[in-house]
Amino acid sequence: MSAPDRTPVSIITGFLGSGKTTLLNRLLQHPGMANAAVIINEFGEIGLDHLLIATPSENTVLLSNGCLCCTVRGDLVDTLSDLYRKRRDGAIPAFDKVLVETTGLADPVPIIQTVVTDPELAPWFRLDSVVTLVDSVNGALQLDQHPESVKQAAIADRILMTKTDLTQPAAIETLRQRMARINPGAHIFTVVRGAIAPHELFGAELHDAHAAGEEVTRWLREEAFTHAERRHGHQHRRHDHHAPDVNRHDEHIRAFCIYHEEPVSTAGLMMWLGMLAALRGANLLRVKGLLNVEGRPVAVHAVQTLIHEPVTLENWPDGDRRSRLVFITRDMERTAVEKTLAAFRLQADARQPARTIDPEAYAQFLAAAKNFR
């Protein structure tokens, strides 16, 4: 199936007590969610008893507004495959989207990898939004003490700041600025008791070759990365005389945008991305790019070692034909990534197609990669 025809899967994550239960309860009562399937870990944790009306199977229940809800049996592949087969065979009502709720300590990346790469799931499902909830009361302390909460925020498409009715405005703004520094590309919302329209959360992934210019611009958000990098540099110069706080895990996070003036070759681009992911994938929390590949606009997206299938767009979103890559990294500086890009000869040259790797460029790439921290 083409990407737009696959069923979108969105991931809802967030640290313990961030409000995932409250959010899902509100979402599942919204008319726009009537054709959704929700995958959770335990029914008892999510508190949906007041919505249950029928039990189509031993691990799947039907909610009063038409939503399906099921527990994870075995693993996510088994659960999604089971849902797909039952929908195909008419054993359960049709659903047009899937929400996966993770545990508070979960790393969302394995779930992303499962949806995108599993050969049984990839033909029928595609990744959509990663929604991360951050507790406005306890979020700052959780970010300081738990690196998994920083990673949940860094790979999100949407960040929901919850419990804002229980927090002082100054603390909310400080946390918002911190979220924007960790992940400039995410859309940040303040949410009280889970109240948010579903359309604000879903439809984040770029998968349609006919996407309009504003959709591409909203997806990439390169200006937010440029602004965040300037702000981080200013704050770093102002505070560099202070000793670093070892508990602030997000101090290791960098967000920046790299531009490349000339068109790049398809082979050179994929080789560079592949090698970067292979050598330092754990440090590449998220990469998005709009690239001039031999004159055509190509959108690329990577999460750690996982490189999504590139999307060749019908049109450029604006008059800028430069390649643009936005990075969220851990312990990787912009200059180190730029050195690997400079070492690789990516320029598109019809006279000398990049079918083989240049030994000199490869040696330079490895030398630059070794300098990553």
* Separation between Cα atoms, residue 177 and residue 183, nearest integer Å: 10
Q: Measured in whole angstroms, how far is the alpha carbon of residue 244 from the centre of its chain?
A: 28
The domains spanning 3-200 and 231-370 adopt the same CATH topology: no
Domain boundaries, given as residue ranges, for the chain = 3-200, 231-370
* Separation between Cα atoms, residue 17 and residue 108, nearest integer Å: 17
Segment 156-215, tens digit of pLDDT: 999 999 999 999 999 999 999 999 999 999 999 999 999 999 999 998 888 888 888 999
Residue 242: exposure state from Cβ atoms within 10 A (0-12, 13-18, ≥19) = exposed
The pLDDT-based confidence of 50 (bands split at 50, 70, 90) is very low
* Separation between Cα atoms, residue 32 and residue 27, nearest integer Å: 9
Helix ranges restricted to H, 90-164: 109-117, 139-145, 147-154
Task: Report which residue type is found at 219.
Answer: W
* Separation between Cα atoms, residue 218 and residue 224, nearest integer Å: 10
Segment 206-240, tens digit of pLDDT: 888 888 899 999 999 999 998 887 776 555 544 44
Whether 111 and 11 have beta carbons less than 8 Å apart is answered as: yes
Handedness of CA 184, 186, 187, 191 (dihedral sign): negative
Segment 116-166, tens digit of pLDDT: 889 999 999 999 999 999 999 999 999 999 889 999 999 999 999 999 999
* Separation between Cα atoms, residue 159 and residue 287, nearest integer Å: 17
Task: Report which residue type is found at 314.
Answer: E
* Separation between Cα atoms, residue 179 and residue 154, nearest integer Å: 8
Architecture, CATH, for domain 231-370: 2-Layer Sandwich (3.30)
Q: What is the DSSP string of 70-100?
A: EE--SSHHHHHHHHHHHHHHTSS---SEEEE
Residue 208 phi/psi, 5-degree rounding, is: -105, 125
- Domain 3-200 in CATH 3.40.50.300? The answer is yes
* Separation between Cα atoms, residue 144 and residue 251, nearest integer Å: 9
Q: Which residue would you say has higher pLDDT here, 297 or 368? A: 297
Average per-residue pLDDT for the chain: 82
Q: Pick the closest to residue 185 from 100, 105, 303 (CA basis).
A: 303
